[in-house]
Structure 1
Amino acid sequence: MQLITHYQNEFLAFMNKHLTEREPKNLYDPIHYILRVGGKRLRPTLTMLSADIFGADYHKALYAALAVEIFHNFSLVHDDIMDQAPLRRGQPTVHTKWNLNTGILSGDTMLILAYQYFEQYEPNIFQELAKIFSKTAIEVCEGQQYDVDFEREAQVSTDQYLKMIAYKTAVLVGAALQMGAIIAQTTQENKQKIYDFGLALGIAYQLQDDYLDTFGDDSFGKKIGGDILQNKKTLLYLKALEKGTAEQKQELYALYTNEPKNEDEKISRVTELFIATQSHTYLRERVEAYTMEAFAILDTLDIPEEKKDILKEFGSSLMNRTI
């Protein structure tokens, strides 16, 4: 989408303008590093798009968009520490390039900086932005904790998993869109509906990401079977345990708890079990259901049809991984 590319370029120029040299360098250089290391900038783009859709000059949304991007990257810095991840977007993670203490402190600073950018708005808009941002920030942390807890728990329900990905991933998509609507000062109904659209689309996106991790190909830029090797309790795994025979459940559980002798064989066998239990079909159905829910919400927005079409095109492009 040319419009999305335009927003991305505008945002990148704005962000780089505000990433000025500051002291102490060992606090701010890691922040500038993670913000410049790449990424699609989809969340800040959504804030700009939403403001535009609801009739505001999208330039007014740039400070909020920057807050969203800084917060998102703050969460990545701390997630990488918790996961002991050496790489992010193909580059060394902050705590690897510097050290653990720097990663923690720079991440903390990013969260505070995000709030500061909301101060650029008049009091009534600032209050609304801060309210949705605070709610979202807490939910993202709760989602991360659920994810950590699930690694140790033998049983996780489908509802628990959906709540985890909603909090960890989807709420920030909804909030990014709602912030643009707040800046445009549209109706409360529109603000809620654009949030709900983002929430449903965010869940659909994460579920599809889970699917592609096992059933995708290298063109999507993911290592196939990565979730399986990390023993992640995705919806594919949870549904296979729910629908499988006693023998299938026992084998799947063993594959997820024992160190594999051959990683490729583990990926292959787990994939076969997902297919045999039809968990892959169930997951595709859930992706479709959440996508359709998102588009149904769009139809109820009080905006011109051509504006709805822009959001639908974005949603379709996102799900097809073409942006």
Structure 2
Amino acid sequence: MASEKEIRRERFLNVFPKLVEELNASLLAYDMPKEARDWYAHSLNYNTPGGKLNRGLSVVDTYAILSNKTVEQLGQEEYEKVAILGWCIELLQAYFLVADDMMDKSITRRGQPCWYKVPEVGEIAINDAFMLEAAIYKLLKSHFRNEKYYIDITELFHEVTFQTELGQLMDLITAPEDKVDLSKFSLKKHSFIVTFKTAYYSFYLPVALAMYVAGITDEKDLKQARDVLIPLGEYFQIQDDYLDCFGTPEQIGKIGTDIQDNKCSWVINKALELASAEQRKTLDENYGKKDSVAEAKCKKIFNDLKIEQLYHEYEESIAKDLKAKISQVDESRGFKADVLTAFLNKVYKRSK
């Protein structure tokens, strides 16, 4: 029997084919030939629904909490409205990933070839990425144009997209895969990269969208959400960095590659902060090399510096801080601390 999580995921997935149909109808209105419409539909279906869908589902979950309902109690029309916003975030994610995979020269994504690696796609993927982003604004216009918060959510998507691109730029110029320079790394840069590249669109955006639909739009409430969700997003990425280095493939479902890929991760930045001159020299000579022996030398230093223990201390400290912030949330205008607790519970001590 399907779990509640699977049923919720299925209901969310059922909305997507209607959106593909609607977007394709807009191409038809421009007299686009069938081969172009088929290409767009293929790109939408290949790149958008294949992941965990956490960001999109979070819009629905958050809206339900703010409405004092369970997800199952949301009527179909009400459900579809928030699910469409969820799919707009998944389209944003798809746009980022198609472009990111080309920049990183990645081979696979979500267990299948990256879109640009699909036969006959190649560099057409650049235009396909633009069209995935454009789909967001087509859907916002057709479903939300008459809502008083239409301009707010449109501007929110533009702002968060720009913030994510700033994070990506900082990442690309700090840690190019083919040119290792650890002097460019720092915990401050790492914090900027992960806050802008991950926290805004993965944590703040889903909640802010649900808040607008629920009519909770006071800047004080948006700030209450931001003040917890941005550091929580940073914690999530630090956790990811930790798991990439110290998690087993069985546990995290992949082989960690951050060391060989010259990633500006929390682990290396923490090590650089603590390393002796001799350890620093070893890291300079071995980090970012496509070589398992070099990787093992880096890992030995991480172990000698007790990075794993320092991560667990950080995790307890940030969780304590976030719980304290959540306990101070002012619910007088309709915002609910439960929204933030639900996010923290998904992240705290996760192991994959």
Q: What TM-score results when the alignment is normalised by the length of structure 2?
A: 0.82
| Aligned residue in 2 for 1:170 | 199
Alignment check: 8 A CA contact 1:194 1:298 kept: no
Tell me by how many angstroms 1:271 deviates: 1.4
> Do the aligned partners of residues 72 and 178 (structure 1) sit closer, same or farther apart at CA in structure 2, a change above 3 Å counting?
same
Corresponding position: 1:296 with 2:337 = no
| Aligned residue in 2 for 1:10 | 11
Tell me by how many angstroms 1:5 deviates: 4.5
CA distance in 2, matches of 1:266, 1:311: 41
User: Which sits farther off after the overlay, 248-257 or 213-222?
Assistant: 213-222
| Aligned residue in 2 for 1:197 | 228
1:22-41 matched pairs, under 5 angstroms: 22=24, 23=34, 24=36, 25-36=38-49, 38-41=50-53
Tell me by how many angstroms 1:296 deviates: 3.1
> Do the aligned partners of residues 169 and 257 (structure 1) sit closer, same or farther apart at CA in structure 2, a change above 3 Å counting?
closer
| Aligned with residue 180 of structure 1, among 210, 235, 238 | 210
Instruction: Could you tell me which runs of 5 or more consecutive residues in structure 2 were left unpaired when the two chains were aligned.
Output: 25-33, 69-73
1:74-223 matched pairs, under 5 angstroms: 74-97=95-118, 98-119=120-141, 120-121=143-144, 122-152=146-176, 153=181, 154-172=183-201, 173-188=203-218, 189-223=220-254
| Aligned with residue 63 of structure 1, among 84, 90, 109 | 84
CA distance in 2, matches of 1:30, 1:187: 34
**Deviation string, structure 1 residues 235-257 (Cα, Å, up to 9, x no partner):** 11112122111100000110125
**Deviation string, structure 1 residues 45-84 (Cα, Å, up to 9, x no partner):** 1111221222275613122111111101110010001111
> Do the aligned partners of residues 74 and 289 (structure 1) sit closer, same or farther apart at CA in structure 2, a change above 3 Å counting?
farther
Q: Superposition RMSD on alpha carbons, in Å?
A: 2.6
Instruction: Kindly indicate which of the two structures has a greater share of residues assigned to helix.
Output: 1
Instruction: Could you tell me which runs of 5 or more consecutive residues in structure 1 were left unpaired when the two chains were aligned.
Output: none
Identity of aligned residues (%): 23
Corresponding position: 1:72 with 2:93 = yes
The one-letter code of the counterpart of 1:9 is E
Tell me by how many angstroms 1:16 deviates: 2.7
**Deviation string, structure 1 residues 109-143 (Cα, Å, up to 9, x no partner):** 11111122222123421111112111100011111
Corresponding position: 1:244 with 2:275 = yes
Tell me by how many angstroms 1:310 deviates: 6.4
CA distance in 1, matches of 2:297, 2:253: 19
> Do the aligned partners of residues 132 and 287 (structure 1) sit closer, same or farther apart at CA in structure 2, a change above 3 Å counting?
farther
Corresponding position: 1:51 with 2:63 = yes
CA distance in 1, matches of 2:44, 2:258: 28
Tell me by how many angstroms 1:212 deviates: 0.6
Tell me by how many angstroms 1:187 deviates: 4.5
Alignment check: 8 A CA contact 2:251 2:351 kept: no
CA distance in 1, matches of 2:330, 2:7: 25
| Aligned residue in 2 for 1:317 | 346
Alignment check: 8 A CA contact 1:225 1:267 kept: no
> Do the aligned partners of residues 309 and 242 (structure 1) sit closer, same or farther apart at CA in structure 2, a change above 3 Å counting?
same
Alignment check: 8 A CA contact 2:57 2:83 kept: no
Tell me by how many angstroms 1:277 deviates: 2.0
Tell me by how many angstroms 1:319 deviates: 3.5
Q: What TM-score results when the alignment is normalised by the length of structure 1?
A: 0.88
Q: Specify the SS of the correspondent of 1:43.
A: helix
CA distance in 2, matches of 1:286, 1:311: 19
1:271-282 matched pairs, under 5 angstroms: 271-282=299-310
Q: Specify the SS of the correspondent of 2:123.
A: helix
Tell me by how many angstroms 1:220 deviates: 3.1
Alignment check: 8 A CA contact 2:55 2:86 kept: yes
Structure of higher CA gyration radius: 2
CA distance in 2, matches of 1:276, 1:76: 35
Corresponding position: 1:226 with 2:254 = no
The one-letter code of the counterpart of 2:186 is S
**Deviation string, structure 1 residues 75-96 (Cα, Å, up to 9, x no partner):** 0010001111110011011100
